[in-house]
Structure 1
Amino acid sequence: MRPALVTVLLAAGVTAGCAGTGTSTGAGPAPGPASGPASGAASSPAPNSPATGSPMVGSPAVGGCTKALGLRTTLGVGGAAGGHRRMVLVFTNGGAAACRLTGYPGVAGLDAGGKQVAQARRTLSGYAGGPGQVGTVALAPGGTAEAVVEGTGADPQTGAGCTGFAGLLVTAPDDTASTRLDLATDTCADFQVHPVTAGTG
Protein backbone atom coordinates (compact mmCIF):
# COMPACT_ATOMS: atom_id res chain seq x y z
CA MET A 1 0.00 0.00 0.00
CA ARG A 2 2.90 2.45 0.53
CA PRO A 3 3.86 2.68 -3.19
CA ALA A 4 0.25 3.53 -4.04
CA LEU A 5 0.17 6.25 -1.36
CA VAL A 6 3.36 7.81 -2.78
CA THR A 7 1.84 7.81 -6.28
CA VAL A 8 -1.30 9.63 -5.07
CA LEU A 9 0.74 12.26 -3.23
CA LEU A 10 2.96 12.89 -6.26
CA ALA A 11 -0.09 13.32 -8.49
CA ALA A 12 -1.57 15.84 -6.05
CA GLY A 13 1.71 17.79 -6.05
CA VAL A 14 1.78 17.97 -9.87
CA THR A 15 -1.81 19.23 -9.95
CA ALA A 16 -1.06 21.96 -7.38
CA GLY A 17 2.03 23.06 -9.32
CA CYS A 18 0.07 23.47 -12.58
CA ALA A 19 -2.57 25.56 -10.85
CA GLY A 20 0.05 28.16 -9.88
CA THR A 21 1.52 28.79 -13.37
CA GLY A 22 -1.33 30.83 -14.95
CA THR A 23 -0.48 34.21 -16.61
CA SER A 24 -2.18 37.35 -15.31
CA THR A 25 -4.55 39.00 -17.83
CA GLY A 26 -5.35 42.14 -15.83
CA ALA A 27 -5.23 45.32 -17.92
CA GLY A 28 -2.73 48.00 -16.99
CA PRO A 29 -3.73 51.61 -16.31
CA ALA A 30 -4.71 53.78 -19.27
CA PRO A 31 -2.17 56.46 -20.21
CA GLY A 32 -2.91 60.08 -19.32
CA PRO A 33 -3.06 62.28 -22.46
CA ALA A 34 -1.10 65.52 -22.57
CA SER A 35 -4.08 67.59 -23.65
CA GLY A 36 -7.10 66.18 -21.87
CA PRO A 37 -8.56 63.66 -19.41
CA ALA A 38 -8.61 59.96 -20.22
CA SER A 39 -11.18 57.43 -19.13
CA GLY A 40 -10.74 54.80 -21.85
CA ALA A 41 -8.47 51.78 -21.54
CA ALA A 42 -5.76 51.17 -24.10
CA SER A 43 -3.74 48.31 -25.63
CA SER A 44 -1.19 47.52 -28.29
CA PRO A 45 -2.59 47.27 -31.83
CA ALA A 46 -3.23 43.87 -33.33
CA PRO A 47 -0.96 42.65 -36.18
CA ASN A 48 -2.02 43.67 -39.68
CA SER A 49 -3.75 46.80 -38.39
CA PRO A 50 -5.94 48.57 -40.96
CA ALA A 51 -4.98 51.98 -42.34
CA THR A 52 -7.68 53.56 -40.20
CA GLY A 53 -6.92 53.80 -36.49
CA SER A 54 -8.50 51.24 -34.21
CA PRO A 55 -9.60 51.44 -30.55
CA MET A 56 -7.14 49.91 -28.07
CA VAL A 57 -8.12 47.56 -25.24
CA GLY A 58 -5.81 46.66 -22.34
CA SER A 59 -2.31 48.01 -21.62
CA PRO A 60 -0.60 49.95 -24.45
CA ALA A 61 2.75 48.83 -25.81
CA VAL A 62 3.20 51.86 -28.08
CA GLY A 63 4.04 55.49 -27.37
CA GLY A 64 2.08 58.61 -28.09
CA CYS A 65 1.84 60.05 -31.60
CA THR A 66 3.81 63.29 -31.92
CA LYS A 67 4.69 65.73 -34.66
CA ALA A 68 8.39 65.01 -34.09
CA LEU A 69 7.78 61.33 -34.87
CA GLY A 70 5.87 62.05 -38.09
CA LEU A 71 2.31 62.79 -36.98
CA ARG A 72 0.54 65.02 -39.54
CA THR A 73 -2.53 67.13 -38.79
CA THR A 74 -4.86 68.19 -41.62
CA LEU A 75 -8.48 69.21 -42.18
CA GLY A 76 -11.01 66.66 -43.36
CA VAL A 77 -14.43 67.19 -44.90
CA GLY A 78 -16.60 69.55 -42.86
CA GLY A 79 -20.19 70.68 -43.16
CA ALA A 80 -22.97 72.81 -41.73
CA ALA A 81 -26.49 72.17 -40.47
CA GLY A 82 -28.92 73.92 -38.15
CA GLY A 83 -26.65 76.92 -37.74
CA HIS A 84 -23.74 74.73 -36.62
CA ARG A 85 -20.42 74.40 -38.43
CA ARG A 86 -18.58 71.07 -38.40
CA MET A 87 -14.82 70.82 -38.92
CA VAL A 88 -12.91 67.53 -38.86
CA LEU A 89 -9.29 67.23 -37.77
CA VAL A 90 -7.44 64.29 -39.32
CA PHE A 91 -4.34 62.87 -37.63
CA THR A 92 -2.11 60.66 -39.83
CA ASN A 93 0.77 58.59 -38.53
CA GLY A 94 3.55 59.39 -40.99
CA GLY A 95 6.16 57.65 -38.85
CA ALA A 96 7.70 54.21 -39.19
CA ALA A 97 6.26 52.78 -35.95
CA ALA A 98 2.81 52.39 -34.44
CA CYS A 99 1.65 55.05 -31.98
CA ARG A 100 -1.45 56.02 -30.01
CA LEU A 101 -3.71 59.04 -29.46
CA THR A 102 -5.72 59.47 -26.27
CA GLY A 103 -8.32 62.09 -25.38
CA TYR A 104 -8.74 65.60 -26.73
CA PRO A 105 -6.58 67.68 -29.04
CA GLY A 106 -6.00 71.28 -28.04
CA VAL A 107 -7.65 73.67 -30.50
CA ALA A 108 -7.50 77.47 -30.66
CA GLY A 109 -9.31 79.80 -33.06
CA LEU A 110 -7.05 82.32 -34.80
CA ASP A 111 -7.77 85.77 -36.20
CA ALA A 112 -6.39 87.07 -39.52
CA GLY A 113 -3.15 88.07 -37.81
CA GLY A 114 -2.58 84.60 -36.35
CA LYS A 115 -3.48 85.61 -32.80
CA GLN A 116 -5.38 83.14 -30.63
CA VAL A 117 -8.84 84.58 -29.96
CA ALA A 118 -10.72 81.52 -28.64
CA GLN A 119 -10.01 78.13 -27.05
CA ALA A 120 -12.27 75.22 -27.96
CA ARG A 121 -14.19 73.83 -25.00
CA ARG A 122 -13.70 70.07 -24.52
CA THR A 123 -16.97 68.16 -24.68
CA LEU A 124 -17.70 64.48 -25.32
CA SER A 125 -20.15 65.25 -28.13
CA GLY A 126 -22.28 68.01 -29.58
CA TYR A 127 -24.75 68.93 -32.29
CA ALA A 128 -22.23 68.03 -35.03
CA GLY A 129 -21.14 64.67 -33.61
CA GLY A 130 -18.48 63.28 -31.29
CA PRO A 131 -17.89 59.79 -29.84
CA GLY A 132 -19.56 60.44 -26.47
CA GLN A 133 -16.61 59.02 -24.55
CA VAL A 134 -12.85 59.40 -24.17
CA GLY A 135 -10.74 56.55 -25.50
CA THR A 136 -7.43 55.60 -27.09
CA VAL A 137 -6.86 55.01 -30.81
CA ALA A 138 -3.95 52.94 -32.13
CA LEU A 139 -2.38 54.13 -35.38
CA ALA A 140 -0.26 51.80 -37.49
CA PRO A 141 2.12 53.58 -39.90
CA GLY A 142 -0.14 55.38 -42.38
CA GLY A 143 -3.17 55.01 -40.10
CA THR A 144 -5.55 57.86 -39.35
CA ALA A 145 -7.78 59.12 -36.56
CA GLU A 146 -10.11 62.10 -36.41
CA ALA A 147 -11.59 64.62 -33.99
CA VAL A 148 -14.65 66.79 -34.58
CA VAL A 149 -14.54 70.54 -33.94
CA GLU A 150 -17.74 72.55 -34.08
CA GLY A 151 -19.19 75.98 -33.48
CA THR A 152 -21.74 78.52 -34.68
CA GLY A 153 -21.58 81.67 -36.77
CA ALA A 154 -23.46 83.74 -34.19
CA ASP A 155 -23.88 83.98 -30.43
CA PRO A 156 -26.32 81.16 -29.55
CA GLN A 157 -27.86 83.24 -26.75
CA THR A 158 -28.38 86.57 -28.51
CA GLY A 159 -28.11 85.68 -32.18
CA ALA A 160 -25.61 88.52 -32.64
CA GLY A 161 -23.00 87.96 -35.32
CA CYS A 162 -19.26 87.80 -34.65
CA THR A 163 -16.03 87.62 -36.62
CA GLY A 164 -15.20 84.14 -37.88
CA PHE A 165 -11.84 82.43 -37.42
CA ALA A 166 -9.14 82.68 -40.08
CA GLY A 167 -7.51 79.45 -38.95
CA LEU A 168 -7.04 76.88 -36.21
CA LEU A 169 -4.01 76.07 -34.07
CA VAL A 170 -4.09 72.35 -33.24
CA THR A 171 -2.04 70.35 -30.74
CA ALA A 172 -2.43 66.55 -30.83
CA PRO A 173 -3.46 64.91 -27.51
CA ASP A 174 -0.05 63.43 -26.68
CA ASP A 175 2.06 66.27 -28.06
CA THR A 176 3.20 69.81 -27.28
CA ALA A 177 4.07 70.91 -30.84
CA SER A 178 1.22 72.67 -32.67
CA THR A 179 0.12 72.84 -36.31
CA ARG A 180 -1.59 75.87 -37.87
CA LEU A 181 -4.43 75.10 -40.29
CA ASP A 182 -5.73 77.86 -42.55
CA LEU A 183 -9.50 77.90 -42.56
CA ALA A 184 -12.04 80.33 -44.02
CA THR A 185 -15.08 80.00 -41.75
CA ASP A 186 -17.66 82.17 -40.02
CA THR A 187 -17.39 79.98 -36.91
CA CYS A 188 -16.94 82.28 -33.94
CA ALA A 189 -19.05 81.04 -31.01
CA ASP A 190 -20.01 77.90 -29.06
CA PHE A 191 -16.55 76.58 -30.00
CA GLN A 192 -16.09 72.91 -29.03
CA VAL A 193 -13.73 70.00 -29.68
CA HIS A 194 -14.58 66.32 -29.12
CA PRO A 195 -12.25 63.36 -28.33
CA VAL A 196 -10.25 61.56 -31.00
CA THR A 197 -11.80 58.49 -32.52
CA ALA A 198 -10.96 56.03 -35.30
CA GLY A 199 -11.76 57.53 -38.70
CA THR A 200 -10.43 59.02 -41.91
CA GLY A 201 -12.05 62.47 -41.78
Structure 2
Amino acid sequence: MSDLYLSMGRKEGAAGSLYWPIRFTNTSTTSCALRGYPGVSVLDTAHHQIGPAATRSGRSYGTVTLAPAHSASAVVRTTNGPIGGPCQRTGTYLRVYPPASHTATLIPAPWTSCSGVFQVGPVNVEGAF
Protein backbone atom coordinates (compact mmCIF):
# COMPACT_ATOMS: atom_id res chain seq x y z
CA MET A 1 0.00 0.00 0.00
CA SER A 2 3.03 2.29 0.17
CA ASP A 3 2.78 2.57 -3.61
CA LEU A 4 -0.59 4.31 -3.40
CA TYR A 5 -0.85 8.08 -3.66
CA LEU A 6 -4.03 9.46 -2.10
CA SER A 7 -5.54 12.79 -3.12
CA MET A 8 -8.91 14.48 -3.38
CA GLY A 9 -10.86 14.84 -6.61
CA ARG A 10 -13.39 17.56 -7.40
CA LYS A 11 -16.26 18.27 -4.98
CA GLU A 12 -19.74 18.09 -6.45
CA GLY A 13 -23.13 18.96 -5.02
CA ALA A 14 -26.38 17.26 -6.04
CA ALA A 15 -29.86 16.86 -4.55
CA GLY A 16 -28.95 18.26 -1.14
CA SER A 17 -25.73 16.26 -0.86
CA LEU A 18 -22.05 17.05 -1.21
CA TYR A 19 -19.83 14.40 -2.84
CA TRP A 20 -16.02 14.39 -2.83
CA PRO A 21 -13.97 11.56 -4.36
CA ILE A 22 -10.85 10.26 -2.65
CA ARG A 23 -8.46 9.20 -5.41
CA PHE A 24 -6.15 6.19 -5.05
CA THR A 25 -3.33 6.31 -7.63
CA ASN A 26 -0.92 3.41 -8.16
CA THR A 27 2.64 4.83 -8.14
CA SER A 28 4.41 1.47 -8.44
CA THR A 29 5.68 -0.28 -11.57
CA THR A 30 3.31 -3.25 -11.09
CA SER A 31 -0.46 -3.57 -10.82
CA CYS A 32 -2.16 -3.55 -7.44
CA ALA A 33 -5.64 -4.59 -6.33
CA LEU A 34 -8.08 -2.78 -4.06
CA ARG A 35 -11.32 -4.28 -2.80
CA GLY A 36 -13.93 -2.80 -0.52
CA TYR A 37 -14.34 0.32 1.51
CA PRO A 38 -11.67 2.64 2.87
CA GLY A 39 -11.84 3.81 6.47
CA VAL A 40 -12.37 7.57 6.57
CA SER A 41 -12.54 10.08 9.42
CA VAL A 42 -12.24 13.84 9.80
CA LEU A 43 -9.36 15.35 11.81
CA ASP A 44 -8.65 18.84 13.08
CA THR A 45 -5.31 20.65 12.87
CA ALA A 46 -4.09 18.78 15.99
CA HIS A 47 -5.03 15.43 14.35
CA HIS A 48 -7.94 14.83 16.74
CA GLN A 49 -10.98 13.14 15.24
CA ILE A 50 -14.12 15.24 14.74
CA GLY A 51 -17.32 13.22 15.04
CA PRO A 52 -17.74 9.57 14.08
CA ALA A 53 -15.94 7.89 11.19
CA ALA A 54 -17.73 7.55 7.87
CA THR A 55 -20.28 4.77 7.55
CA ARG A 56 -20.41 2.57 4.46
CA SER A 57 -22.88 3.39 1.69
CA GLY A 58 -23.89 -0.27 1.34
CA ARG A 59 -23.11 -0.42 -2.38
CA SER A 60 -21.78 -3.76 -3.63
CA TYR A 61 -18.22 -3.90 -4.91
CA GLY A 62 -15.66 -6.01 -6.69
CA THR A 63 -11.89 -6.06 -6.89
CA VAL A 64 -10.36 -3.07 -8.67
CA THR A 65 -7.01 -3.79 -10.32
CA LEU A 66 -4.96 -0.66 -10.91
CA ALA A 67 -2.24 -0.67 -13.53
CA PRO A 68 0.77 1.59 -12.84
CA ALA A 69 -0.19 5.30 -12.93
CA HIS A 70 -3.93 4.50 -12.94
CA SER A 71 -6.47 5.65 -10.35
CA ALA A 72 -9.69 4.58 -8.71
CA SER A 73 -11.78 6.49 -6.20
CA ALA A 74 -14.07 6.13 -3.23
CA VAL A 75 -16.63 8.89 -2.79
CA VAL A 76 -17.47 10.49 0.57
CA ARG A 77 -20.86 12.15 1.09
CA THR A 78 -22.58 14.47 3.54
CA THR A 79 -25.57 16.79 3.31
CA ASN A 80 -25.09 20.18 1.70
CA GLY A 81 -25.52 22.18 4.91
CA PRO A 82 -27.58 21.61 8.08
CA ILE A 83 -30.56 19.78 6.55
CA GLY A 84 -32.29 18.01 9.42
CA GLY A 85 -29.44 18.47 11.87
CA PRO A 86 -26.42 20.60 12.77
CA CYS A 87 -23.00 20.52 11.14
CA GLN A 88 -19.80 19.41 12.86
CA ARG A 89 -16.92 21.87 12.91
CA THR A 90 -14.85 21.83 9.73
CA GLY A 91 -11.90 19.49 9.76
CA THR A 92 -8.46 20.11 8.27
CA TYR A 93 -7.66 16.57 7.13
CA LEU A 94 -9.32 13.36 6.06
CA ARG A 95 -7.64 10.31 7.59
CA VAL A 96 -7.97 7.51 5.05
CA TYR A 97 -7.17 3.84 5.50
CA PRO A 98 -7.15 2.12 2.09
CA PRO A 99 -9.17 -1.13 2.03
CA ALA A 100 -7.39 -3.94 3.92
CA SER A 101 -4.70 -1.55 5.18
CA HIS A 102 -3.81 -0.63 8.76
CA THR A 103 -1.77 2.39 7.64
CA ALA A 104 -3.58 5.70 7.26
CA THR A 105 -2.79 8.65 5.04
CA LEU A 106 -3.71 12.20 6.03
CA ILE A 107 -5.04 14.21 3.11
CA PRO A 108 -5.38 17.99 3.53
CA ALA A 109 -9.12 18.42 2.95
CA PRO A 110 -11.49 20.94 4.55
CA TRP A 111 -14.52 18.75 5.29
CA THR A 112 -17.68 19.52 7.24
CA SER A 113 -20.08 16.69 8.06
CA CYS A 114 -23.67 17.86 8.43
CA SER A 115 -26.96 16.41 9.68
CA GLY A 116 -25.25 13.31 11.07
CA VAL A 117 -24.49 12.13 7.52
CA PHE A 118 -20.93 11.04 6.69
CA GLN A 119 -20.75 8.10 4.31
CA VAL A 120 -18.15 6.54 2.05
CA GLY A 121 -18.63 4.32 -0.98
CA PRO A 122 -16.40 1.43 -2.06
CA VAL A 123 -13.31 1.90 -4.21
CA ASN A 124 -14.34 1.80 -7.88
CA VAL A 125 -13.37 3.16 -11.29
CA GLU A 126 -16.85 4.38 -12.25
CA GLY A 127 -16.81 7.34 -9.84
CA ALA A 128 -19.93 5.88 -8.20
CA PHE A 129 -20.99 6.43 -4.60
- Give TM class, smaller chain: 0.7 to 0.9
Residue segments in structure 1 that go unaligned for 5+ positions in a row: 1-65, 125-131
Residue 122 of structure 2 aligns with which residue? 195
Q: Which has the higher strand share?
A: 2
Q: Distance between the aligned counterparts of 2:87 and 2:9, measured in 1?
A: 26
1:147: Cα distance to partner? 0.6
SS in structure 2 of the partner of residue 145 of structure 1 = strand
Residues matched between the structures, number: 126
1:123: Cα distance to partner? 1.5
User: Residues 155 and 162 of structure 1 are in contact (CA less than 8 Å); yes or no, is this contact kept in structure 2?
Assistant: no
Residue 108 of structure 2 aligns with which residue? 182
Q: Which has the higher helix share?
A: 1
Q: Deviations over 1:48-99 (max 9, x none)?
A: xxxxxxxxxxxxxxxxxx12xx111111111123332111011011011111
SS in structure 2 of the partner of residue 198 of structure 1 = coil
> Could you say what the CA RMSD is over the residues aligned between the two structures, in angstroms?
2.1
Q: Deviations over 1:3-49 (max 9, x none)?
A: xxxxxxxxxxxxxxxxxxxxxxxxxxxxxxxxxxxxxxxxxxxxxxx
Identity over aligned residues, as a percent? 33
Residue 56 of structure 2 aligns with which residue? 122
User: Residues 151 and 191 of structure 1 are in contact (CA less than 8 Å); yes or no, is this contact kept in structure 2?
Assistant: yes
Pick closer, same or farther for the CA change 1:161–1:73 going to 2, 3 Å: closer
Residue 148 of structure 1 aligns with which residue? 75
| Structure with larger RCO (C-alpha < 8 A, sep 6+) | 2
Please identify the structure whose Cα radius of gyration is greater: 1
Residue segments in structure 2 that go unaligned for 5+ positions in a row: none
Pick closer, same or farther for the CA change 1:153–1:165 going to 2, 3 Å: farther
1:162: Cα distance to partner? 3.2
Residue 173 of structure 1 aligns with which residue? 99
